[in-house]
Amino acid sequence: MAHPLIPQIIELATPVAEQLQLEVVGVVFHTNQNPPVLRIDIRNPQQDTGLNDCERMSRAIEATLDQTNIIPDAYVLEISSPGISRELKGDREFISFKGFAVIVSATSPHKGQQEWSGQLIRRDDTTLYLNIKGREVEIPRSLVAKVQLNERH
């Protein structure tokens, strides 16, 4: 069930996003965490949503939220993009997210594992390369079911 403040937060965030030429595509308030986490997902309709868009929105909405005092207690504000938290598919995404923490799932076990967490090094026509605790690990692309950003890092 959605938190009761969500409609009010969307009402506040939408005009702020529009001033920055962004769109609010989702709001989640995780009150089961301490402090609670307010996540606002945004999208840049003109181009791929980037870190700069998230930073601009964060600064702008933070001021608005503080002025209204809609959330009186301490909370963590996260601004993200559906594109930032999704599965990596295209070559461009693999280049853009080089060095980011990812989780790789395989269709079948490879060297005794079916899932790996590490930093994305690169991928070529046949292999996906990860840095796992300073060691380069090679996973055949033919076994890779999906690669997604690891939001826990």
The model's pLDDT over 13-36, given as tens digits with 9 standing for 90+, comes to 999 999 999 999 889 898 888 899
List the CATH number of the domain containing 100. 2.30.30.100
Does 109 lie in the same domain as 94? yes
1 falls within a domain: no
Lowest-confidence region among 1-5, 30-34, 48-52, 105-109: 1-5
- The rounded distance, in Å, linking the Cα atoms of 30 and 113 is 32
Q: For residues 134 and 88, which has the higher predicted lDDT (pLDDT)?
A: 134
30 falls within a domain: yes
- 82 with 94: CB under 8 angstroms? no
Q: List the domain range (segments joined by +) for residue 37.
A: 6-80
Does 57 lie in the same domain as 33? yes
pLDDT of residue 18: 97
Number of domains the chain contains: 2
- 109 with 69: CB under 8 angstroms? no
Does 70 lie in the same domain as 100? no
Q: Is the pTM for the entire model greater than 0.85?
A: no
Does 112 lie in the same domain as 75? no
Does 16 lie in the same domain as 76? yes
76 falls within a domain: yes
127 falls within a domain: yes
What is the tens place of the pLDDT at every residue in 23-75?
998 898 988 888 999 999 898 888 888 888 999 999 999 999 999 989 988 89
Among the candidates 80, 96, 112, a domain finishes at 80
A 10 A CB-CB count for 52 gives: 9
Does 10 lie in the same domain as 76? yes
Q: Is the dihedral of CA 38, 44, 49, 51 positive or negative?
A: negative
What is the tens place of the pLDDT at every residue in 113-146?
999 999 999 999 999 999 999 999 999 999 999 9
List the CATH number of the domain containing 41. 3.30.300.70
